[in-house]
């Protein structure tokens, strides 16, 4: 449980992100006690702060967003939520205060959390600014990776075949009957 002031900041950042991200996705928020949209990851059901889904009919999960405050960037939070959200098929985005970026990176690395992006935020007056501080390399699609792996042995074999000299062609001795049969002239059958 966060202190009241931090909870208000947390909820305000979530609402700002909802407005910012709704251009590209359908965004549903889980603020406070109004836990509306869960994300199931294996046997665990988690309620991330923002759930991003595709705008088309299927509403495919496109990403999850977790907003943390200075108090909530800790080992317990990393184990309880980040680790599970990092295992989901959709990218996991983490938003932390500017002063907690290094701690969040360290916790994510220690707990093996797959974070697609880590953003920092800071408030100046009544404006909140977001800065991208970490982006994970984009993984190669599984089908493309499988096709590339399947193609590698073929090219390796082809390269090895080009490097070696072709073997001299050996003549195969035919049995006497087969050779005599082929050498005999063919006769036409009558109509």
Which domain, by its residues, includes 15? 4-135
* Confidence tier at 137 by pLDDT (50, 70, 90): confident
CATH of the domain at 39: 3.40.1350
Q: Total structural domains in the chain?
A: 1
* Confidence tier at 159 by pLDDT (50, 70, 90): low
Question: Do the domain assignments include residue 101?
Answer: yes
Question: Do the domain assignments include residue 165?
Answer: no
Question: Do the domain assignments include residue 161?
Answer: no
| SS3 per residue for the chain | CCCHHHHHHHHHHHHHHHHHHCCCCEEEECECCECCCCEEECCEEECCCEEEECCCCCCCEEEEEEECCCCCCCHHHHHHHHHHHHHCCCCEEEEEEHHHHHHHHHHHHHCCCCCCEEEEEEEECCEEEEEEEEECCCCCCHHHHHHHHHHHHHHHHHHHHHHCCCCCCCCCCCCHHHHHHHHCCCCCCCC
Question: Do the domain assignments include residue 85?
Answer: yes
The residue ranking higher by pLDDT, 120 or 154, is 120
45 has pLDDT over 70: yes
* Confidence tier at 177 by pLDDT (50, 70, 90): low
The residue ranking higher by pLDDT, 101 or 190, is 101
pLDDT value at residue 180: 53
156 has pLDDT over 90: no
């Amino acid at each position: 449980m966060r202190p009241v002031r931090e909870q208000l900041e947390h909820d305000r950042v979530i609402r700002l992100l909802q407005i910012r991200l709704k251009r590209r996705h359908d965004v549903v928020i889980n603020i406070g006690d109004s836990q509306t949209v869960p994300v199931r990851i294996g046997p665990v059901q988690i309620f991330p702060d923002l759930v991003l889904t595709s705008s088309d009919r299927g509403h495919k999960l496109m990403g999850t967003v977790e907003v943390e405050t200075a108090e909530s960037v800790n080992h317990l939070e990393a184990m309880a939520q980040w680790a599970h959200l990092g295992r989901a098929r959709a990218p996991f985005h983490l938003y932390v205060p500017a002063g907690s970026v290094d701690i969040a990176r360290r916790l994510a690395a220690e707990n093996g959390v797959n974070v697609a992006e880590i953003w920092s935020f800071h408030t100046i007056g009544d404006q909140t600014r977001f800065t991208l501080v970490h982006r994970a390399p984009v993984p190669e699609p599984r089908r493309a990776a499988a096709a590339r792996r399947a193609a590698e042995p073929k090219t390796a074999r082809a390269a090895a075949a080009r490097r070696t000299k072709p073997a001299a062609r050996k003549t195969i001795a035919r049995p006497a009957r087969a050779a005599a049969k082929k050498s005999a002239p063919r006769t036409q059958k009558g109509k």
